[in-house]
Amino acid sequence: MPSLHMGNEVYHFQAEVIERVVVAGQPGNYVLGEKDPTGEFFPKFIGRSDTDVKAELRSKLGVLNYGFFKVANSGPNNAYDLECAQYHGFRTQLDNMTHPASTPGSGRTCFLCGL
């Protein structure tokens, strides 16, 4: 299986957990998903914020119904590259099937497919 490149920590997708573990005002990536019967994290939705990943995660509460999340803080360029790598590595199991968009005005393209 491909790697999410986000470490081993998996958290419950709940407001109080987001408040406790995610740094406000930082760009970064997140992955929402479930755990399989063996406890392995199964990615279902990938995303990023170029400005505040904590606010982005908060906005998904009550809208997207997943049990767990992973998060990583990174700069906007790294966040886009990581989201592209996650999309290409896990696209057959993701609920969000649209290729990630680059930051408006950045002129960046996906390093894997050129989109």
CATH code for the domain of 70: 3.40.1440.10
Q: Measured between alpha carbons, how far is 82 from 69 in angstroms, rounded to an integer?
A: 16
Position 23 confidence tier, pLDDT thresholds 50, 70, 90 = very high
| Domains in the chain, number | 1
Residue 62 lies in a domain: yes
Position 69 confidence tier, pLDDT thresholds 50, 70, 90 = very high
Per-residue pLDDT, 1: 64
Over range 26-46, report the average pLDDT.
95
pTM for this model (two decimals): 0.93
Over range 93-105, report the average pLDDT.
93
Position 76 confidence tier, pLDDT thresholds 50, 70, 90 = confident
Residue 68 lies in a domain: yes
The domain of 34 spans: 11-90
